[in-house]
Structure 1
């Protein structure tokens, strides 16, 4: 029986998910990886276990299959100390404008599914009296932009959910962290035009998630420059903002 803390990474096969798993494993956490393709995560089990001498397990998890959430949580060998949700789908704004199914998938992948699963863990953590919940949202949720408002609106909803949950849970020994990355160089952003000084690599986000948990932070921007950038963007008058082409 291990006395190490355990982290559950939802979306463990994503670049940021793998980076977060490495950061926590390096810090001595046992790691539970979860993703739609559990078999694809098996190499990570061997690598993390051998590299950091921690326990690593894999579970199948589909954020769109909300009916399976109760069984997923109940089937975990150990209720984790920390759960990190990195699941999400950028999608294509142009497609989402005409294709309702695509728009719904973006919204469900970034808001409905992550909120419901973290809400379920919140109830378990609150009953236990301890635990940390981390939701990876996005700076795109701070203000809707013409270029990605379907994705941005879902992230805005997720951020609001995390904010309310944090206020409720703070009275009961459970902490909720919102992580808002800006541009991150990953498979999801491949082919996009990224702004160099505002772009980070996935391991930077992974390390920031771990640091936020250890410091009991509330809202973290990655990189920190985005806090000022989004402050400026959020305060722009609507008459000016709607004329911007971004």
Structure 2
């Protein structure tokens, strides 16, 4: 995998930054995309010190609504990486707040949360798929969530967005089955990152960004279509999905 070109959308997220460090150690050429130009530049400088290709670069962009459109923006990113992309990681997202799931939730806030977490992410995966289909190879990975496996009262808008993204990625994987284009859906559980700053943390269910990033790196290398990280979330979510609705409805989750 050494010397690949890697596009990271949402590169300032904790998980994405740790993933980028792993790819830097392989000497990869990275393009880091996000909204905070200063933070992106600082990360790029650090990655080059860790072994990333000197051509590693940054691009400040609103990923949920690129002004030039998704296809044109992706074409510019491809050009910045030398004309081709080996790996795309869609790593941005927004958890939202409890008000989005109340009876008087602002519909605009609901739409914004769905746009950030699902529709824009699907659009990036789609344009990446078109590029890789032309090349005949490559990997598209997107970070979803175990929250997308079953709708829960506490975060069903976020969960619906991540569930929709997972279904889109599943269809994309089916489309490319038997080819050299790989599609990886990542489903983390609780991860200690700034996005979860408002949640009580600690205990065996919580993972570090480093551990999740390492799992993602291995899943991409192996072309695993679905990654639950840490691994035990696959078991937990299998149980939760199997619960009869009367029992599930009594749970305060």
**Is 1:42 the counterpart of 2:41 in the alignment?**
yes
> Does the alignment pair 1:120 with 2:161?
no
1:24 maps to 23
Query: Counterpart of 1:135 in 2: which secondary structure?
Result: strand
Hey, what's the Cα distance between the residues in 2 that align with 1:107 and 1:95?
11
How far did residue 28 of structure 1 move?
Answer: 2.6
Shift of 1:96: 4.8
Alignment partner, residue 70 of structure 1: 71
Residues 152, 193 of structure 1: CA spacing in aligned structure 2 closer, same or farther, 3 A cutoff?
same
Superposition deviation, residue 54 in structure 1 = 2.2
Q: CA deviation at 1:170?
A: 2.0
Write the deviation string for residues 53-105 of structure 1: whole angstroms up to 9, x where unpaired.
42311012322215531221111222210000011110013235311111111
- For 1:50 and 1:33, locate their aligned partners in 2 and report how far apart those are by CA, in whole Å: 15
Bigger mean CA deviation after superposition, 155-164 or 195-204: 195-204
Structure 1 unmatched runs, 5+: none
1:185 aligns with 2:192: yes
TM-score of the pair, normalised by structure 1: 0.95
Number of matched residues? 244
Q: Normalised by the size of structure 2, how large is the TM-score?
A: 0.92
- 2:11–2:17 Cα contact (<8 Å) kept: yes
> Contact 1:126–1:172 at 8 Å: present in 2 too?
no
User: How is 1:95-244 mapped onto 2 (pairs within 5 angstroms)?
Assistant: 95-97=100-102, 98-194=105-201, 196-244=203-251
Against the structure 1 CA distance between its residues 146 and 195, is the aligned structure 2 distance closer, same or farther, given a 3 Å change threshold?
A: farther
Q: Which portions of structure 1, spanning 4 or more consecutive aligned residues, are displaced by more than 4 angstroms?
A: none
Residue ranges of structure 2 left out of the alignment (5+ in a row): none
1:195 Cα offset (Å): 5.3
